[in-house]
Structure 1
Amino acid sequence: MGAALAAGHQSLTFALLAGLGGAALGLLWAATAVALGERAERAMMAPAIALAGLPLALALPLAGGLLGPERGLAPMAVMTALIAAPAVAAIARDELRALLRREFLSAVQAAGIPNGRRLRRHILPNAVLPLAAAAWTALPRALMAESLASLLGLGLPDGVTGWGTAIGAAARSGDGTALAGPALLLALTLWALHGVGDGMRLAFATAGGRR
């Protein structure tokens, strides 16, 4: 279990860094598309929606294989961020569109409140929670992609042991005891991360219903 916890530190650190990159890229993608108007939004979001429906996690072991045994953490983190970004962008665009259609924003616009004040006082405060929930989806996606690639020996570089690396090594050696710890911790962590994301979306929906 101690070895599994140490491996989890490596996996979670990598997933956090790559997830933050994917979340930032996805949010910027969605915000830019919505800000540029409907025609630009359709053009910019079509690739994101198409990519979000593909098993992009398989792209990370492919990238690891192409980079070879000398692959570094930075290129793998960048690739993982690119894998997570389309789903974040698609969810964030939907959340922004739903927010902009809310009745209180229509009332604010009808009242003639300047755009700058409307953005600071009404749009940004109400966008924080839904966009945070959208950004959160990058973290479990990054962790799952890294674990799958490391399981195949094509993820984290040599010398860096994550949960996927530990699971793959235990499976190849037939050591069920060594397999149980990292597999259980990985499953519980992914379940917890998805649970937090669902809770954030529920909190936003509840807050929206009370407004």
Structure 2
Amino acid sequence: MSDEYFLPLRRRGPLARLRANGAAALSLTFLILLLLACFSAPLIGAALGLDATTPDLFSISAPPSAAHPLGTDEIGRDLLLRLLEGGRVSLTVGIAAALSASAIGTLLGLLAGWRGGILDAILMRLADGVISLPLLPLLIVLAAVDPEKAGVPASLVHSESFSLYRIVLIIALVGWTTTARLVRGSVLSLRERDFIEAARAQGLPPSRILFRHLLPNAASPILVAATLTIGNVILFESVLSFLGLGVQPPIPSWGNMLTGAQELIAGAPMLAIWPGLLIFAAVIAFNFLGDGLQEALDPRAGQRRTR
């Protein structure tokens, strides 16, 4: 296609281009509603008079009813509230891990692209080494390590939220490579531009040039990479929790809800179907949103894709 075809598209703002992308706009709407519902779970439970943590052995795997809109789980807890609470945990882990990995990758990418030389070579070979490892087996191995033997205090290890922090830390330590390579490439293409040369001529310190001039111009690929990473992290967290290496009960997540439902799949399939559908929908929505952001922030991406 000719450049004239894309000229009106480039003249529109990023938000307008994102709205024009039907899949991305629909995904963004779905994710906003999902986030609002999950983080409003305590208010929804109070309004319905339900509790997501109290078991009811007289209502095990009950079908949907007026009291329990989606029925109950394997020990009689309300399934709707469990899904919302689990979604709050899974989405929190996904967002926190993606932001942490993006922060590490951005810092290393800035340093590698700006300094170059030996530092650039070391950091990029480190990134290549991490990328070459099979990610899921690596996460499983790291999650299976006993933190007490690694020197973590026992009081912290046995705290209720430690499993959340561990998953975020593990994924952040191995998930920074994509952002680092993207930021490095952007810095390499920008550092010889006239506005950077002008900043150097004015005697600005490197930190100011990096964070006030280079980083804002590299923000688009960082945002796209972080959005796509959230979906992958939700999937990895669900797999680790399903294997018993991720978020530990009594904290619910979509992954450990699947673990609790696997022995009841024949008699109560909805206990597995609902969290599975939410994992699928959230991952697909984040991927569509990431693709939409890429085209909204770089309208020529769509032109390159059609050639």
Interval containing the TM-score (normalised by the shorter chain): 0.7 to 0.9
- Distance in 1, Cα, partners of 2:243 & 2:167: 14
- Unaligned stretches of 5+ in structure 1? none
2:262 aligned to which of 164, 168, 171: 171
Shift of 1:149: 0.2
1:99-147 Cα offsets, whole Å, 9 max, x none, are 447xxx2587489964649948754442222222233343223222211
1:61 aligns with 2:140: yes
Which stretch shows the higher mean deviation, 84-93 or 3-12?
84-93
Distance (whole Å) between structure 2 residues aligned to residue 164 and residue 76 of structure 1? 13
**TM-score normalised per structure 2:** 0.57
Give, as a single letter, the amino acid of the residue that structure 1 aligns with 2:171: T
| Larger RCO of the pair (alpha carbons < 8 Å, separation 6+) | 1
Shift of 1:65: 2.5
Question: Greater CA radius of gyration, 1 or 2?
Answer: 2
Deviations 1:49-77 (A, max 9, x none): 33224332333332332238946332332
Task: Indicate if the aligned counterparts of 1:60 and 1:79 stay in contact, CA closer than 8 A.
Answer: yes
Q: Tell me, in whole angstroms, the C-alpha distance in 1 between the residues paired with 2:181 and 2:200.
A: 31
Q: How many residues align?
A: 206
Contact 2:163 2:246 survives alignment (8 Å): no
* Structure 1 residues 127 and 87: CA distance shift in structure 2, 3 A: closer
Whole-Å separation in 2 of the counterparts to 1:53 and 1:199: 28
The answer to whether the 8 A contact 2:183-2:218 is kept is no
**Aligned residue number for residue 287 of structure 2:** 194
Query: Identical aligned pairs, as a percentage?
Result: 27
Instruction: Give the alignment's Cα RMSD to 1 decimal.
Output: 3.2
Partners of 1:38 and 1:133 in 2: CA distance: 28
- Matches of residues 1-211 of structure 1 in structure 2 within 5 Å? 2=80, 3-67=82-146, 70=158, 72-100=163-191, 105-106=193-194, 109=197, 114=202, 116=204, 119=209, 123-174=214-265, 175-206=268-299
2:284 & 2:131 partners in 1: Cα distance?
Answer: 20
Quick one: distance in 2 between partners of 1:97 and 1:136? 23
Give CA deviations for 1:76-103 in whole Å, capped at 9, x if unaligned.
32112112212222233233334447xx
Q: TM-score, normalised by structure 1?
A: 0.80
How far apart are the structure 1 equivalents of 2:113 and 2:213?
Answer: 17
Q: Deviations over 1:150-201 (max 9, x none)?
A: 0111101221111111122222322321111111111111111112222222
